[in-house]
Chain A
Amino acid sequence: MGESGARVMLAAATALFVASVAARASHRANDRVATSAPTTDNIIPAGADRILSAYATFPNPTGTLAVFNADGPVATRGHPFFEPLGRNGRACVTCHQPADAMSLSVRSIRARWAAAGPKDSLFAAVDGANCPNLPVGQRSSHSLLLDKGLFRIPLPWPPRDPAGRAISPEFDITVVSDPTGCNTDRVYGLKSSNPHISVFRRPRMAANMKYVEPERPLSLWHIRTGEVRPLDPATGHRLGGNVMSDGRAPTLIAQMVDASRTHMAMKGGLSPAQQTQVRKFLFQVYAAQVTDRAGGRLDTGGAYLGPRALRDGKPAVVGAYSARPMFPEIEGWVTQRIASSIKWIPLVKLPPFPATRAGEASEAPAQRAFRDSVARGYLSFMYRQFLIRNVADLNAFIGNPVKQTCAACHNMVQTGMDVAPGYLDLGTTTYPTATPAPDLPLFRIDCHKDTPPHPYLGREIYTTDPGRALITGRCADVGKVVIQQMRGLAARAPYFAGGSAQDLRAVVNFYDTRFRIGYTQDEITDLVNFMGAL
C-alpha cells in the first residue's frame, strides 16, 4: 500500500472513530438528562443574602453556563430583582434564575417542588398553578408548571390599547376545551365579570437585554406589517418590539412594572428608583453556555462563545440576509474540510473557510468530533435550504413558499432573534401544525367576515394560544409568537413559548415535520450540538 493509500485508510478510520465517539457522546448526553439527580443547590431564593460574582458558572445537563455581570459582583440583599417586594413572597429571581440562563428549566422547577413543594413561592396560586381556584399543594394543581415549565398568563378580553381603552376585536373566541378549568371559571374565565383569557407560557431569558431592547432598532418600520415602530417616550428611540412572546409590553420598564404587579402581587408595582435599578441590572447581565461535557471549553480553538462576547457584540445587526456570520463566535471552528463534507444543498455558495482551526492537531478525538459537529450544525442553520411555507407574516413578505434557511427567521447576529421584529405564526400554537397538547386550553377563533383573514388559516382557527392576536385583536395575528433569543438553551429546557418541545431534538423534529426538510439523524445531532453550545 502506498503512502497516500495508507493516509486515506487512516483518515477513514479516524472519521469512523470520531463518528462513533460523537454518537456515544450524544447518547451519553441523553442518559445524563435522564439520570443526573436535579438539585436546588444553585437556586437563589427570593430575599437571599448572596453575592452573585462577576463571572459565575453553573452546571447543566450538557455542560456549564456562565452568567457574567459586566458591572461587577451583585449583592442580592436589598436589590429589587432579588427581594420579595410583593405579597406572595416572590422576586424576579424566583422565575429568572442565573443557573437556568435567567429563565427557568423544568428540571429545577421539579427539584424545587421535591424540596419544598408548594411552600416555594414559585408555585403561588396566582400563576404558578393551572388556575388559582385549584387546591393548593396538590401536584395536579401545578401540572403545567411541573410538566412543561408554564406559567399562567391571564390577559384581558377584549384587549386594551396602550391608553387602556377596549379594542374591538376582529374575531370571536370560544373555549373548546378547558383542562385547567380557568377559562370557563366564574371568577377567572372568559365569561366572568372581569373577562380574561388564560394562556400558559415559558419565562423568557432576563439577560442579554441589549439585544432584546436595542437602543437603536433597525428602521422606522416594522417592515413586514408595514406599521411604524412606536416611540419609547423615555428615550425617544423607536422600539424593537421583541419583548415578551406577544410583544404586549412595548418596553422593558412596562414589562417589569407589569411583572411586579401580576407575578409578584406588588401593589402599585416597582417604584421608579427600583425600575431604574432593575433595568440597569438587566442590561449588564449576560448569559451563555461556556463548556460542553464532551467538547470542553467553547471559547478555545478559534471559537469565542460565552457571555463576554455578548457584552462586546452589537445589537440588532442582521446576519442572514446580508450573509454576515450569524454567530461569529463559532466561525473559527469551521474549516474547509467541514464545509466540503456537507451533503445538503446550501442556499448560496459557501464562503471559503481556512484549512485548519487553531490547535486542531492537538484536539482529543471527542473534542474534535464535537467541534466538527457544532460547525456542521452552524452551517446547516445558516445555509441549509428548505421551503418555508404558511408562516404569517414571513411568507407574505418574501413569498409563500420561500426557499430559505433557519436564519431567515432567526436573523439577528449573536442571538438568533428576529430583527423585523419577531412575531411570526410558526405554527407552534395553531393547529394543524401544533404538537397536540391535551393539557392546554383549546380556543376556536372565528374571524368576522369583513376583516382580513389569517393568510394561511383563514377565518376559523384552532389554537392553544392566540399569541399576538390577544393584544391586537386582529385575526391575521392569531398564533404569532415573538422569537426568543437562542442563548443559554442547554440550561433552560423545554422550548417554544408553550413548552411544546421537551428538548432540542424535539425542536429540530418540529421543523423537520413542519417544513418537510428531511434531516438525517446525524444532521439533527449536529443542530442539537450547535444550539446546545450557544
Chain B
Amino acid sequence: MVARKWMATLGVVISTPALAQSLAAPSPGRPVSFVACPEFRNTARQCWLAESGGKTYYIGAFRIGTPPQLLHKVLVEGVAHDDQSSCGGINIDPVQISPLPELDFSCDAVLPDNGTAPREGSLFDLPPEVLARNGGDVPTPPPLTKNMAFAVTLDFDRTVLNLVNQAKVELIARTIMASPVARVIVTGHAGQSRLDDGSVMREAPEVAARRMAVVRDALIAIGVPEKIVDGRIADSLPEGSSVLGPESREVTIDVVLARP
C-alpha cells in the first residue's frame, strides 16, 4: 500500500520512538479502544494512566505532541500487552491519544508518587528530530515519478497538526515542490471509532473542513503554489461503515503529476 510504504520512508526521517516501535515487528497483544479520564501520577518522571473495564492502563510519560489533559476525557486507541506494565498500568503500545475537546471537570485526578515509576530520565528532552532541526529544514526529497497519495492521521475531533504530523506535512510539501506537479487535492475526512464496548463514536462533521484547511494552508505556507491546490471535504462516512479507528480521520493528499 502506498501509504504504508511512504510511512516506512518517513520513519527514517522522523523516527519518534512510538512510530519506530509501531513499524517494528508487532509483539502479540490485544487491541483496545476506550474513552476515560486520564490520571496523572505525580512521580519523578510523571506518568499517565487510564482505567477501562476494571483494568488500569499506562498511557505514557512526559510526551510532546498530543499528551493527555486533565479536564478532558481521552480516547485511547492501541494494542495492550497484559504481560508488560509501567507505573502500575498495563502497557499500550503503540498508543494513540486523543484528548476530547470538550471540558470535563470530573477528570481531575492527580495521584501521589507511589514509587511505581522510574526516577531516572530527563524531562528536558525534546524529541531528537525537533532538536536536530533546530533552525534547519528537512533535506530536499527526491522528485516523484508517478502520482502519489499521502495521508495524515489526526487526533479524534481535533484539527491541530501535532509534531509528528508537522514533520509529515513538511516532507509532503517539499516532495511536491521538488516534483512536476499539476494538481494537489487535499481532502478532509471526519471519521469514527469503535470502542471496546461495541459503541461507535463519530467525529463532529465540521472537523473535516477544518482539517482540510489546516493541511492546505500549511502546504501553501511552506511553498506549494496556491493555484495548484484544491481543497475538498469528504462526504461523511455512512452509518455502519466499516472504516473505524484512526485511519478514518485522515486528510488525504493526492498528488497528480503534470504530463511530460
Contact = CB atoms under 8 A, between A and B. Distances in A.
Interface string B58-83: 00001111011111100000000000
Contact of B135 (A219, A320, A452, A458): A219
A169 to B, nearest CB: 15
| Chain B binding surface, main DSSP class | loop
A127 to B, nearest CB: 33
B122 interface: yes
Contacts of A219: 130, 133-135
Contact of B130 (A223, A229, A400, A401): A223
A186 interface: no
A387 B158 CA distance: 25
Interface stretch (A86-94, A257-265, A390-398): A390-398
A319 B221 CA distance: 28
Interface in A140-173: none
Interface string B39-72: 0101000101000000000000011110111111
A223 B135 contact: no
Contacts of B65: 397
B200 interface: no
A228 B46 contact: no
Nearest to B222: A228
Interface in A25-45: none
Interface in B102-116: 102-103, 110
Interface stretch (B1-9, B19-27, B160-168, B186-194): B160-168
B211 to A, nearest CB: 11
B68 A321 contact: no
Contact of A390 (B42, B71, B110, B161): B71
A401 B62 contact: no
B102 A230 contact: no
A320 B158 CA distance: 28
A389 interface: yes
Interface in A420-456: 450, 452-453, 455-456
B62 A402 contact: yes
A397 B126 CA distance: 12
A322 interface: yes
Nearest to A407: B124
Given A219-B134, A322-B124, A401-B40, A226 B71 contact: no
A3 to B, nearest CB: 39
B131 to A, nearest CB: 7
A226 B206 contact: no
Given A323-B122, A403-B46, A226 B166 contact: yes
Given A226-B160, A228-B221, A316-B135, A400 B123 contact: no
B72 A455 contact: yes
A350 B64 CA distance: 23
Contacts of A387: 42, 110
Contacts of A401: 40, 70, 110
A399 B69 contact: yes
B55 to A, nearest CB: 22
A318 interface: yes
A485 B149 CA distance: 44
B254 interface: no
A221 interface: yes
Interface string A450-471: 1011011010000000000000
B14 to A, nearest CB: 13
Given A322-B126, A452-B101, A456-B71, A226 B40 contact: no
B124 to A, nearest CB: 5
B125 A321 contact: yes
Contact of B137 (A220, A323, A390, A404): A220
B85 interface: no
B122 A348 contact: yes
Interface in A185-235: 216-221, 223, 225-231
Contacts of B64: 397-398
B48 A348 contact: no
Contacts of A399: 40, 46, 48, 62-63, 67-69
B70 A220 contact: no
Given A323-B124, A347-B123, A453 B71 contact: no
Contacts of B70: 389, 400-401
Nearest to B210: A452
Given A218-B135, A225-B160, A453-B102, A400 B124 contact: no
Nearest to A225: B160
Interface in B170-219: 170, 204, 206, 214, 217-218
Nearest to A216: B135
Contact of B103 (A226, A231, A456): A456
B15 interface: no
B236 interface: no
Contact of A226 (B68, B72, B161): B161
Contacts of A223: 130, 163, 166
Nearest to A345: B44
A318 B123 contact: no
Contacts of A455: 69, 71-72, 101, 103
13 contacts: A220-B166, A221-B166, A227-B218, A228-B222, A323-B122, A387-B110, A389-B70, A390-B71, A400-B69, A401-B110, A403-B46, A450-B204, A453-B103
Given A219-B135, A390-B71, A453-B103, 11 more contacts: A221-B170, A229-B221, A316-B135, A322-B124, A322-B126, A396-B67, A399-B48, A402-B67, A403-B42, A403-B46, A452-B158
Interface of B: 40, 42, 46, 48, 62-65, 67-72, 99, 101-103, 110, 122-126, 130-131, 133-135, 137, 158-163, 165-166, 170, 204, 206, 214, 217-218, 221-222
